[in-house]
Amino acid sequence: MKTVRVQATPEIVIQIQGRFDADRGDTTTEDELKHQAKADTFQAMQDAAAFVRRVRQRLGLSKSEFSRRIHASTETLRNCEQGKRQPTGADKALFRY
C-alpha cells in the first residue's frame, strides 16, 4: 500500500466530501437549517424504529416476549417501533444480541 501525504485545504476537503455546495451553504438561512435538522431527526427516529422492528422480527418474538427478554416495558418497545422514542445506548446494546 502506498502512503501519500497531502495537506488538507478547504478545496480538497470539499472535493472529497462532494456534497457541500459552498454557494448554497453561504446563503442558507437559520430557518432552513432548523428545518433540515428537524427532518434529519425525524429520519433518524424512523431508521431506529425500523431497526428495532427488524431485530424483534428476526428473532421471531412477539412485542411482549421481546420486551420481557430485554427487561424493558412493552410500552417502551412499542414507542421505539413506532418512532416515538429513540433507543438509548443501553437499549441499542441489547438489540445487538
Print pLDDT tens along the chain (97 aa): 566 676 666 555 545 555 666 677 677 788 888 888 888 888 888 888 888 888 889 999 999 999 898 888 888 888 888 888 877 777 667 666 5
Residue 5 lies in a domain: no
Residue 67 lies in a domain: yes
Provide the residue range defining the domain that includes 42: 31-95
Q: How far apart are the first and last CA of the chain?
A: 36
Q: How many domains, the chain?
A: 1
Residue 88 lies in a domain: yes
pTM, 2 dp: 0.57
Residue 55 lies in a domain: yes
Please give the angle made by the CA atoms of 75, 81 and 82, to the nearest 5 degrees. 90
Residue type, 31: D
Q: What is the DSSP letter of 66?
A: H
In the block, residue with C-alpha cell 444480541: 97
